[in-house]
Copies of this chain bind each other. A is one copy, B any other.
């Protein structure tokens, strides 16, 4: 009996179809304690409607980074001016290597130097790193101020900006220090994806693909059918992919905000992926690339555990290769992988717990014998990238 069976099939198992386009789409996240909207559409940064109805404050602070701010910060500042008498912009250094305490503290410095009060609104304009740090800062500053996610990467739009996970990295583990702290809104402007380098765009696709195997085989089929349109950043295809990803994530987070059980399925590919990222050093592989490779490894593990047939691995492999994601794991040595995976947040009393597939479209959390895991690791460094 899999965890995914707790998901109502009506909302997650239904076949999906592309939207008709025009205007923006809304997905609601409801954790029981908090409720907020994800807005998805083109040109939202400049659309007044996207910024009304948020908590009032005398100050707003846009937290961004050196890469994103020159492209998009001015547009957001202009949109916020009618609502907040004072709007300032703070840029963090770009990249996962800077998802750390100094970056977090630079937000606190900025807020205190500007005597930001308890009602100050933070806006996280950027990718997952900006969103995770800013959300954490919002959760801690004066024990909590409101914030809005304005994700500018595909990965952040479909995954990290939704659901309230915030964190910084620690030298001894990724995302080890953080909070569950929900934003007041998520605004996904598709236009911001136009300036995204192709490597980052593809890395974001990994998290879109993820929702198929864990929760919706029909969505996986849709991705397979529309992969070329997605890679060409077709607006209609992207809108559908982002909306469906957010719907699934909202449904899972709504049932299990704090990862008591079900929510862990969203970490499909992440146990292996985090080990790749940590083992190579943050920033060598993009997070989505590590997750892509990790999903192949997790599917291989599912096959070796006898849960799914080898054809399931072949299907995942083919899709990942077509998407341009890495499928061969870096050769860190089995011990290094096991050491990093033992520090995973899902681990309990030293036992690593993996998200595996019980069938295509249904994920469960399981322990696995070390010999089987080592088999996956040995095989993964020898994988050919042929489809």
Interface residues of A (CB under 8 A from B): 33, 58, 101, 105, 108-109, 112-113, 115, 117-119, 139-144, 165, 167, 170, 172-173, 176-180, 258-259, 342-343, 345-350
Q: Which of chain B's residues have a CB closer than 8 A to the CB of A141?
A: 176-177
Q: Which of chain B's residues have a CB closer than 8 A to the CB of A176?
A: 108, 112, 141-142
Given contacts A105-B101, A173-B112, A176-B108, whether A347 and B117 have CB atoms under 8 Å apart is yes
Indicate if the CB atoms of A167 and B143 lie closer than 8 Å: yes
Indicate if the CB atoms of B343 and A115 lie closer than 8 Å: yes
Chain B nearest CB from A120 CB (Å) reads: 10
Indicate if the CB atoms of A140 and B347 lie closer than 8 Å: no
Q: Which of chain B's residues have a CB closer than 8 A to the CB of A179?
A: 139-140, 143-144, 179
Chain B nearest CB from A134 CB (Å) reads: 14
Alpha-carbon separation in the docked complex, A142 to B117 (Å): 28
Given contacts A139-B179, A144-B179, whether A172 and B345 have CB atoms under 8 Å apart is no
Chain B nearest CB from A182 CB (Å) reads: 13
Alpha-carbon separation in the docked complex, A144 to B258 (Å): 9
Q: Which of chain B's residues have a CB closer than 8 A to the CB of A343?
A: 112, 115
Q: List 17 A-B contacts (CB under 8 A).
A: A58-B349, A58-B350, A101-B105, A108-B176, A109-B172, A117-B345, A117-B350, A140-B178, A141-B177, A142-B176, A143-B165, A143-B167, A143-B179, A143-B180, A143-B259, A143-B345, A144-B180
Given contacts A113-B172, A342-B115, whether A143 and B178 have CB atoms under 8 Å apart is yes
Q: Which of chain B's residues have a CB closer than 8 A to the CB of A348?
A: 58, 117-119
A119 (CB) vs chain B CBs: closest residue: B348
Q: Which of chain B's residues have a CB closer than 8 A to the CB of A117?
A: 345, 347-350
Given contacts A101-B101, A109-B172, whether A115 and B350 have CB atoms under 8 Å apart is yes
Chain B nearest CB from A293 CB (Å) reads: 24
Q: Which of chain B's residues have a CB closer than 8 A to the CB of A144?
A: 179-180, 258
Q: Which of chain B's residues have a CB closer than 8 A to the CB of A350?
A: 58, 115, 117
